[in-house]
């Protein structure tokens, strides 16, 4: 099942993508795609619905919103692909490197990416997103995937100067507004039999920069869910972004390549859909639209 949210900011509706590729409205069954409806029983009830009987919007939705309405934590894993660590000039970690993206960074899959003021080194990162469905605290690795509601595409947009050259931790380069597109939909875990066998890719202006596979992750999804649950309780709706394969702008040779206004990013993961974002210079009106 592919759950989604559609509509303008502040007026989103819950929906699903039917097998024919059309959006169906779930407003008659749930108020939104939110934490209270991500548990196994709730998802099973939604999956049992006859999608043919669900209403479809009169016109194709103009906007696909972030896939979860009330994400409480947006947790990221750094350097989780050894070849990306190498291109970044950093050692492969012996334990997962964790940092946070602000929830205010969350955006729809095709929303504008707005560069912060004075940005000079904004970069892209296609990543597998893991959405928690059941509260997880000190869970065993063998059971960890049972706590996952589903998966989605994440673009972990990153301002490298803020991240690496301005002191402190990575958060300030990761949490800028619009720097966390998620979606286009949440693919429930039953449709992803092996999260360690997914291909990821990203293009900028039609050029393929990233091409990788979750098979090469240093720490698997199960390992990450178990590990993170030792340090904080994971709640339904929390998103874990699991790291990026090589090919980011920072790692381009002989010179890094960074995002500029007018650039177009397109990215996707096998079975989880695609995103497309146009990059804009700082514009507060775009953030508030």
Which residues of the chain have a pLDDT value below 50? none
Strands 13-17 and 126-132: unpaired
pLDDT at site 284: 85
pLDDT at site 153: 98
CA distance 156 to 162: 14
pLDDT at site 71: 98
| Letter string b/e over residues 74-109, b meaning 16 or more CB atoms within 10 A of that residue's CB | bbbbbbbbeebbebbeeeebeebbbbebebebbbbb
Q: What angle do CA 110, 99, 223 make, to 5 degrees?
A: 95
Residue 174 counted as domain residue: yes
β-partners of residue 81 are 217
β-partners of residue 128 are 153
* HSE of 88, CA atoms in CB hemisphere, 13 A: 22
pLDDT at site 102: 97
Our count of domains for the chain comes to 1
Q: What is the CATH number of the domain that holds 131?
A: 3.90.850.10
Q: Are 270 and 198 in contact (CB under 8 A)?
A: yes
Residue 63 counted as domain residue: no
Residue 25 counted as domain residue: no
Residue 181 counted as domain residue: yes
Token representation of residue 193: 């039999």
Domain assignment of residue 266, given as a range: 68-288
Residue 50 counted as domain residue: no
Residue 207, SS3 per DSSP: strand
Token representation of residue 79: 């350097």
pLDDT at site 154: 98
pLDDT at site 287: 85
Residue 189 counted as domain residue: yes
Residue 233 counted as domain residue: yes
pLDDT at site 5: 98
pLDDT at site 202: 98
Q: Are 192 and 222 in contact (CB under 8 A)?
A: no
């Amino acid at each position: 099942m592919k759950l989604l949210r559609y509509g303008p900011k502040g007026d989103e509706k819950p929906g699903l993508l039917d097998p024919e590729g059309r959006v169906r409205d779930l407003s008659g069954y749930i108020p939104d795609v939110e934490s209270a409806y991500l548990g196994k029983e709730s998802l099973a009830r939604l999956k049992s619905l006859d999608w043919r009987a669900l209403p479809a919007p009169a016109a194709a939705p103009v906007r696909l919103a972030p896939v979860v309405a009330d994400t409480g934590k947006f947790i990221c894993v750094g350097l989780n692909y050894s070849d990306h660590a190498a291109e970044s000039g950093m050692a492969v970690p012996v334990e997962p490197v964790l940092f946070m993206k602000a929830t205010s960074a969350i955006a729809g899959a095709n929303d504008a990416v707005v560069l912060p003021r004075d940005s000079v080194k904004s970069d892209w990162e296609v990543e597998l997103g893991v959405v928690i469905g059941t509260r997880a605290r000190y869970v065993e690795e063998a059971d960890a995937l049972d706590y996952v509601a589903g998966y989605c595409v994440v673009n972990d947009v990153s301002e490298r100067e803020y991240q690496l050259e301005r002191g402190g931790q990575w958060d300030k380069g990761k949490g800028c507004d619009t720097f966390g597109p998620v979606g286009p939909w949440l693919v429930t875990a039953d449709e992803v039999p092996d999260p360690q066998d997914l291909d990821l890719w990203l293009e900028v202006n039609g050029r393929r920069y990233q091409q990788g596979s979750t098979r090469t992750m240093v720490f698997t999804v199960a390992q990450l869910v178990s590990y993170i649950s030792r340090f904080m309780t994971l709640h339904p709706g929390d998103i874990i972004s699991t790291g990026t394969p090589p090919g980011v702008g920072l790692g381009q040779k002989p010179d890094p390549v960074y995002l500029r206004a007018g650039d177009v990013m397109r990215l996707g993961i096998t079975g989880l859909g695609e995103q497309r974002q146009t990059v804009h210079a700082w514009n507060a009106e775009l953030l508030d639209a």
